[in-house]
Chain A
Amino acid sequence: MLRIDRRFLKYFDWPLLILLLIVSGLALMNLYSASYPPSPWGMPPYIKQCYLFLMGLMGILCILCFDYKELHFWNYPFYIFIIILLLLVLVAGNSAGGAQRWINLGFFKLQPSELAKLMLVVTLASYYSRKEEDKGYSIKEMVTPVLLTGLPFVLILKQPDLGTALMLGIIFVSMTVFAKVRWQTYVLGVVLGSGAGVFAWFNLLRPYQKLRIETLLNPAKDPMGQGYQILQSKIAVGSGGFRGKGYLEGTQGHLHFLPERHTDFAFSVWGEEWGFVGSIVFLTAYFSMLFVGLYAAMTARDRFGVFLSFGVVMLIFWQAVINLLMILGFLPVVGIPLPLVSYGGSSLLTTLLALGLLLNVRMRRFQTGQNIEKMKQK
C-alpha cells in the first residue's frame, strides 16, 4: 500500500505547508504573549503547544504514507473508537467548569469531541462519495448520515458541550448541502430542525447556555455578566487601532479580565497587539490556507477526495468564522476555538491531522486520474 513515487514530491502542496507553518508560527508567538508573564507553576502553555505541534507534524507524515482512499475502510473502526472514547468521557472524564470533556492521558488531556469533528468529516465523505445521486438525496437516503451524525452529537451534548455539538451539526449540513439533496428533503430538514431548536430552547438548554444567547441579543443589558467577556474582547481588539500596541504590550490582555485569553480569546490578544494591519495580514494568511484547501478539492480526481478536502476546509472554516465572530462581538460565547491559534492540544492535533488529509488528497491527485485515463482507453 505504501508506494514511494517521485510524483509525490512533485505534486506535494508546498504552498499549503508553508502557509500552515507561517500561521502556526505566528500563533505560537501569540500564545507566548497571551500567557505572559509565565506562571511560576507548571509548563508554560506555549511550550506545551510547541511539543504538540511537533507531534502533529509527525502525525501528518504518518498520514501521508497511506493512501487516503484506505479511509473508506478505516473509517468504521475509527468511528467506533471515537464513540467509545466519547462514552468513556461521560463515564470517567475529567470535569472542568461542570462539564466532562477530557480523558487524562498524563502528558495531556485528550478531548475526544475534537477528534469527533474530524471523524464526522471522514465518515460523511466516505458515505456521500459512495452513494451518488444525480437528482440529490431523498429523505430515505438521508437516514444513515443523520444517524451517523446524531450519535456523537447526542454524546457531546450530554457532556455538555453545546458549541462542539453544534459544530458537528454545521459540518453535517455543509457537507450534505454540498452533496445535494432533493427539495423535499430540504423542507423536511428545515421543519424538523426548527422544531428541534424550539424544543431544545425550552427543554434541553441549560440556563447558562440560554443566558449566552440572550446576552448576544442585548449585550448592554448586563455588561458584567455574560456580556462581559464579549465586551472586553471588543475593547481589546478595538483598542489595538491601526498599528496595535506592540508585542507583549497589550494592556487588556495582561490584565485578569479575560479568563480564557490563551484559549478561545487568543485572537483578541493578537488584535490588540498587532492592530488592524497585523490582523489583516494574519487572517489573509489564514484564509489563504482555506482557499488552497478548496483548490485541493477542485483538483482531486475522485469523489472521495473532493468530499474529504471539502469537509476538512469546512471543518476549519466554520470553527474559525464562529470563533472570530464571537471575538468581534457578533456571536455568543460558545466555546469554539480558533484552529491552530487557540491553546488546546486536542484541537491542534485534530486540525493538523485534517490538514494532513488535505495534503494527502492533493499529493495523490495523479493516481486516480491516471487510472481513469487507463479505464477510458480500455
Chain B
Amino acid sequence: MKWSCYTNLEELTEHDDADLDALKRRILVAGLVIFCFMMIIFGRLWFLQIYKGDEYRDRADNNRVRMREIAAPRGNILDTKGREMVTNRPSFNVVLVREDSNDVDELLKKLAVALDLDISELWGKLRDAGSKPRHIPVKLLEDVGWETLAYVENHNQEFPGIRVEAIPARVYHYKNLAAHAIGYLGEISKKELAARDLEIYTGGDLIGKSGLERLREPDLRGEKGSSSSEVNARGFEQQLLKNEEPLPGNDIQLTVDAELQKVAEDLMDAGEKAGAVVAMEVKTGRMLVLASNPVLPLDQFVGGISHKHWNALLENKKHPLINKVVQAMYPPGSTYKMITAMAGLVTGAITKDTVLYCPGHYYFGKRRYHCWKRSGHGAVNLKRAISESCDVYFYQVGLRVGVDKLAEFAGKFGLGHKSGIEMEHEKAGLTPTKKWKKKKYGKKWQEGETLSVAIGQGFNLVTPLQICQMTATIANGGTQYRPQIIEKITDPDGNILEQFEPVVIDTLKDEQRFLKLIREGMEEVVQGKRGTARKVRIKGMTIGGKTGTAQVVRLKQYKHLKEEDIPYKFRDHAWFTCFAPADDPEIAVTVLVEHGLHGGSGAGPVARAMLESYFFERLQQAAEAEKAKGE
C-alpha cells in the first residue's frame, strides 16, 4: 500500500500553516454565509407561520384543494357499416369520502333510512375499502336512477362526505349482440393492478375483462383527466380550479355486420338453440358474423355482475360463457368429406370419375361399417358422393390415402391449428395422425379408425370458425385468409390510426384445379334432386353447401328411440356450411347447432335466413326482373 497518500505526505506537509490559516479564514466566512441563510429561513418561517399564520390556517381549513381523477369514456365499438354497437352514457355513483365525514356510521344510517337501503350492504362496501386512503371515494351505490340522484344532490348539506360521481358506463345499442366478441368490463382486480402500470390504473377502475374489451384495452381506455377543486372543511366543493378533460379512447370499427349478426342470433335464440354462426367474406377473410349462443348478458355486467347472475351463467347447461366460435370443439362430421375428397384427388387415389359401389355398408376387418343410408346409394361418383354424403365412398377414399395424408390436407385448409383471429382462448382443434395417437395413448393406429376419420368422426375436432375458413378457402379458389375482425381503429376526432388489410396465410397450388369439382359437388348438395340440404334453396340464387352430423355418443339404448326422445345432451350436433353465390362466391356461412340432430334441418334454415338477409337487395332485383320478364 505504498502508493497511497504517504508518498504525497511531504508535498502536502511542506506548506506552512499560513496557507491553512488563509483557508480557515474563508471557512469562517462560509460559516457566516450559512448563518445568514439560516436566519433568512427562520425569518421566512416566522413570516409564514406567525405573521401570516392565521391567514394560512383559514386557507387550509376553508380552501383545501382536492384533485380528483375523471374517468375517460372508452372508445366506441362500431360495426362494419359504422353503426354504433357499443358507446357510453353518463352513469352516476353515490360515493363516500370518509375524510369529510365526522361520523361515518351515523352518516350511513341516515343515508340508509333516507334512501331505503340495506345498511349492512353499505357497511360491506365500507369494509371492502379497508385501508385505502381516506380521501379516496368509496363507491356505495352504482349507476343510480334519477330519483336517488336528485335526492342526494338536493340534500347534500345533510350528508357531508356523500357525493355523486359521474362516470361513463357502457351502452349496448344492440343489447347482447356479438357479446362474446365484444366482451365485458369489470372492476380491476388486485392481481391485474399489480401487473399493470400504476400510473394508468388505480383501484376501482374499470378494465376490459374479456373479448375485444380486454384484448384492445390499450386502444379503448383513453386517458384519464383530472379536476382540482377547492373544498371547504366539510368536503363541499367550493370552486373548480383546474379541469383537465379526459381523452376518450379510440373507436374500433369491426368487420362484423350488426344486422346480419342479429339475424343469426335471433334465429338461434328463437329456436332456443345453442351453437355458433360464423360468416366470412371469402375474398378478404373479413368476419361478418361471429355469433355464439346463448349470448352473454352484457347488460348484467354493467356496474358489476351480481353473484346470483354469475352463478346462473356458470350453471347454465348451454354454456353461455363459452365463445363457441373458437373455444368449443366438435367433430366436423360430413363437412370433413371435402378434405377426404381433396386428399383423394390430389394424391391420385381417385379421379373425378371414379365410381365406387355403396350397398349401405362396408366391411373392414371383422366389422361392418354402415352408410347413413342403410339401403345404400348404389354406384356413386365423387359428385354424387358429396351431394348425397355417401359414407361408404369416403371410407374407401380414406383407406386409400391413409390417415396421415388426411391430416396433412386438413391442415392445409386450416384445421388442427389456430387461425390467429383476435379472440381469446382460441382452440386449435385436432387432426389425428398415427404419430399423435402413439404419443397420446401409446397405442398403434387401427386402420378401422381411419374410416371414422374419413367421414369426420372419431378423433377429429374442429371449431366452427375453422369450418367456415375451410369453406371460404374452397369457395375462393384456394386462398387462405386470416380471419379478420377489426376493420380500423380511429381516434376520437375520426383520424384513422390503424387500418387492417386482409392477410393471406397460404395459397393452395396443387389443390386449385380440383376445387371447382368440389364446389360443384357442394352445389348439388343444395340444388340437386337428392342433395341433403334441399331445404336451404333460395329462389334466384345458387348455393353450394354441405351438411354434417357430429356424433356425440353412439349408444345402443337410444337406437330404437325416436330422435325427439333422445335426451338433449346425447343428441348429435348439426353442421351446415355453405357459400353463395355458387358461380362467384362472396360469403361463406357456417352454422353449428349443438344437439341439433341434422345438418339440413337443424342448421340449414339459419344459414338460409342469413343468405336471404345478406343478398336481400339482389334477390329482390332478381325477382322483379323475373316478374317483368313474365309480364
* B50 contact from A241, A283, A290, A329, Cβ within 8 A: A241
Contacts A134-B19, A283-B38, A297-B27 given; indicate if A41 touches B194 (C-beta within 8 A). Answer: yes
Interface residue A121 (Cβ < 8 Å from any Cβ of B): no
Q: How far is the CA of A328 from the CA of B45 in the complex (A)?
A: 8
Q: How far is the CA of A290 from the CA of B37 in the complex (A)?
A: 12
Q: How far is the CA of A371 from the CA of B8 in the complex (A)?
A: 12
* B56 contact from A40, A178, A234, A325, Cβ within 8 A: A234
Interface residue A256 (Cβ < 8 Å from any Cβ of B): yes
Shortest beta-carbon distance, B236 to chain A, in Å? 14
User: Are A242 and B50 in contact, CB atoms less than 8 angstroms apart?
Assistant: yes
Q: Which residue of A lies closest to B14 (CB)?
A: A375
User: Are B242 and A224 in contact, CB atoms less than 8 angstroms apart?
Assistant: yes
User: Are A280 and B45 in contact, CB atoms less than 8 angstroms apart?
Assistant: yes
User: Are A321 and B59 in contact, CB atoms less than 8 angstroms apart?
Assistant: no
Task: Determine, out of A69-77, A202-210, A354-362, the stretch whose residues face the partner at the interface.
Answer: A69-77
Interface residue A252 (Cβ < 8 Å from any Cβ of B): yes
Interface residue A368 (Cβ < 8 Å from any Cβ of B): yes
Measured between beta carbons, the chain A residues less than 8 angstroms from B6 are 69
Task: Determine, out of B62-70, B111-119, B420-428, the stretch whose residues face the partner at the interface.
Answer: B62-70
Interface size on A, residues (CB 8 A): 69
User: Are B135 and A238 in contact, CB atoms less than 8 angstroms apart?
Assistant: no
Interface residue B365 (Cβ < 8 Å from any Cβ of A): no
Contacts A238-B57, A306-B23 given; indicate if A257 touches B37 (C-beta within 8 A). Answer: no
* A271 contact from B38, B49, B64, Cβ within 8 A: B49
Range for the number of chain B residues in contact with chain A: 35 or more
Shortest beta-carbon distance, B1 to chain A, in Å? 5
Instruction: Please encode chain A, from 252 to 265, with 1 for each CB lying within 8 Å of some chain B CB and 0 for all others.
Output: 10111100000000
Contacts A239-B60, A303-B19 given; indicate if A321 touches B52 (C-beta within 8 A). Answer: no
Q: How far is the CA of A242 from the CA of B12 in the complex (A)?
A: 52
221-262 of chain A: CB within 8 A of chain B: 223-225, 228, 232, 234-242, 251-252, 254-257
193-229 of chain A: CB within 8 A of chain B: 223-225, 228
* B131 contact from A37, A228, A240, Cβ within 8 A: A37
536-582 of chain B: CB within 8 A of chain A: none
* B5 contact from A38, A69, A276, Cβ within 8 A: A69
Measured between beta carbons, the chain A residues less than 8 angstroms from B194 are 41
27-76 of chain A: CB within 8 A of chain B: 37-41, 67, 69-70, 72-73
1-47 of chain B: CB within 8 A of chain A: 1, 3-6, 8-13, 15, 19-20, 22-24, 26-27, 30-31, 34, 37-38, 40-42, 44-46
Interface residue B150 (Cβ < 8 Å from any Cβ of A): no
270-291 of chain A: CB within 8 A of chain B: 271-272, 275-276, 279-280, 283, 287, 290-291
Interface residue A302 (Cβ < 8 Å from any Cβ of B): yes
Q: How far is the CA of A87 from the CA of B193 in the complex (A)?
A: 33
User: Are A290 and B56 in contact, CB atoms less than 8 angstroms apart?
Assistant: no
Contacts A224-B242, A256-B67, A321-B41 given; indicate if A294 touches B30 (C-beta within 8 A). Answer: yes
* B135 contact from A1, A38, A256, Cβ within 8 A: A256
Measured between beta carbons, the chain A residues less than 8 angstroms from B148 are none
Instruction: Please encode chain A, from 358 to 374, with 1 for each CB lying within 8 Å of some chain B CB and 0 for all others.
Output: 00000000001001100
Instruction: Please encode chain A, from 104 to 130, with 1 for each CB lying within 8 Å of some chain B CB and 0 for all others.
Output: 000000000000000000000000011
User: Are B53 and A241 in contact, CB atoms less than 8 angstroms apart?
Assistant: yes
User: Are A1 and B131 in contact, CB atoms less than 8 angstroms apart?
Assistant: no
User: Are B23 and A276 in contact, CB atoms less than 8 angstroms apart?
Assistant: no
Interface residue B241 (Cβ < 8 Å from any Cβ of A): yes
Interface residue A183 (Cβ < 8 Å from any Cβ of B): no
State the main secondary structure of chain A at its contact with B. Answer: helix
Shortest beta-carbon distance, A321 to chain B, in Å? 5
Q: Which residue of B lies closest to A178 (CB)?
A: B26
Contacts A239-B57, A252-B60 given; indicate if A38 touches B131 (C-beta within 8 A). Answer: yes
Interface residue B134 (Cβ < 8 Å from any Cβ of A): yes
Q: How far is the CA of A67 from the CA of B20 in the complex (A)?
A: 20
Q: How far is the CA of A329 from the CA of B406 in the complex (A)?
A: 80
Interface residue B55 (Cβ < 8 Å from any Cβ of A): yes
User: Are B13 and A375 in contact, CB atoms less than 8 angstroms apart?
Assistant: yes
User: Are A304 and B56 in contact, CB atoms less than 8 angstroms apart?
Assistant: no
Measured between beta carbons, the chain A residues less than 8 angstroms from B49 are 237-238, 240-242, 271, 275-276, 279
Instruction: Please encode chain A, from 316 to 329, with 1 for each CB lying within 8 Å of some chain B CB and 0 for all others.
Output: 01000100110011
User: Are B12 and A302 in contact, CB atoms less than 8 angstroms apart?
Assistant: yes
Interface residue A298 (Cβ < 8 Å from any Cβ of B): yes
Measured between beta carbons, the chain B residues less than 8 angstroms from A79 are none
Measured between beta carbons, the chain B residues less than 8 angstroms from A256 are 66-67, 133, 135
Q: How far is the CA of A211 from the CA of B228 in the complex (A)?
A: 20
Interface residue A343 (Cβ < 8 Å from any Cβ of B): no
Measured between beta carbons, the chain B residues less than 8 angstroms from A301 are 20
Interface residue A310 (Cβ < 8 Å from any Cβ of B): yes
Measured between beta carbons, the chain A residues less than 8 angstroms from B242 are 224-225, 228
Interface residue A14 (Cβ < 8 Å from any Cβ of B): no
Interface residue A132 (Cβ < 8 Å from any Cβ of B): yes
Q: Which residue of B lies closest to A259 (CB)?
A: B67
User: Are A67 and B53 in contact, CB atoms less than 8 angstroms apart?
Assistant: no
Q: How far is the CA of A37 from the CA of B64 in the complex (A)?
A: 18
User: Are B8 and A239 in contact, CB atoms less than 8 angstroms apart?
Assistant: no
Q: How far is the CA of A223 from the CA of B193 in the complex (A)?
A: 33
Measured between beta carbons, the chain A residues less than 8 angstroms from B44 are 325, 328-330
Q: How far is the CA of A251 from the CA of B56 in the complex (A)?
A: 12
User: Are B9 and A371 in contact, CB atoms less than 8 angstroms apart?
Assistant: yes
User: Are A294 and B55 in contact, CB atoms less than 8 angstroms apart?
Assistant: no
Q: Which residue of A lies closest to B5 (CB)?
A: A69
Shortest beta-carbon distance, A67 to chain B, in Å? 7
Q: How far is the CA of A325 from the CA of B53 in the complex (A)?
A: 18
Instruction: Please encode chain B, from 56 to 83, with 1 for each CB lying within 8 Å of some chain A CB and 0 for all others.
Output: 1101110011110000000000000000
User: Are B130 and A40 in contact, CB atoms less than 8 angstroms apart?
Assistant: yes
Q: How far is the CA of A41 from the CA of B202 in the complex (A)?
A: 11
* B46 contact from A251, A276, A297, A329, Cβ within 8 A: A276
Q: How far is the CA of A255 from the CA of B48 in the complex (A)?
A: 20
User: Are A328 and B41 in contact, CB atoms less than 8 angstroms apart?
Assistant: yes
* A328 contact from B19, B31, B48, B61, Cβ within 8 A: B48
User: Are A241 and B57 in contact, CB atoms less than 8 angstroms apart?
Assistant: yes
**Residue with the highest number of chain B CB atoms closer than 10 Å, among A129, A271, A275, A372:** A372
Contacts A41-B194, A239-B56, A279-B45 given; indicate if A310 touches B30 (C-beta within 8 A). Answer: yes
Shortest beta-carbon distance, A136 to chain B, in Å? 11
* A234 contact from B19, B31, B48, B64, Cβ within 8 A: B48
**Residue with the highest number of chain A CB atoms closer than 10 Å, among B34, B49, B56, B228:** B49
Contacts A257-B65, A276-B45 given; indicate if A238 touches B55 (C-beta within 8 A). Answer: yes
Q: How far is the CA of A375 from the CA of B46 in the complex (A)?
A: 53
Interface residue B54 (Cβ < 8 Å from any Cβ of A): yes
491-507 of chain B: CB within 8 A of chain A: none
User: Are A303 and B45 in contact, CB atoms less than 8 angstroms apart?
Assistant: no
User: Are A372 and B13 in contact, CB atoms less than 8 angstroms apart?
Assistant: yes
Measured between beta carbons, the chain A residues less than 8 angstroms from B31 are 291, 294
User: Are B45 and A271 in contact, CB atoms less than 8 angstroms apart?
Assistant: yes
* B241 contact from A223, A279, A375, Cβ within 8 A: A223
Q: How far is the CA of A162 from the CA of B10 in the complex (A)?
A: 41
Report 25 cross-chain contacts, Cβ distance below 8 Å, ordered by A residue.
A39-B133, A40-B130, A70-B5, A72-B4, A72-B8, A73-B5, A130-B11, A180-B22, A228-B228, A235-B56, A238-B55, A242-B49, A242-B50, A254-B99, A254-B133, A272-B60, A276-B46, A283-B38, A283-B42, A306-B20, A310-B27, A321-B37, A321-B41, A328-B41, A329-B48
A residues contacting B by CB (< 8 A) are 1, 37-41, 67, 69-70, 72-73, 129-130, 132, 134, 178, 180, 223-225, 228, 232, 234-242, 251-252, 254-257, 271-272, 275-276, 279-280, 283, 287, 290-291, 294, 297-298, 301-304, 306, 310, 313-314, 317, 321, 324-325, 328-330, 368, 371-372, 375
3 closest A-B pairs by beta carbon, nearest first, are: A238-B56, A69-B5, A239-B60
Known: A238-B48, A239-B57, A330-B44. 13 other contacts (CB 8 A): A70-B5, A224-B228, A238-B57, A238-B60, A254-B133, A257-B64, A271-B49, A287-B34, A294-B30, A294-B31, A303-B23, A329-B44, A329-B48
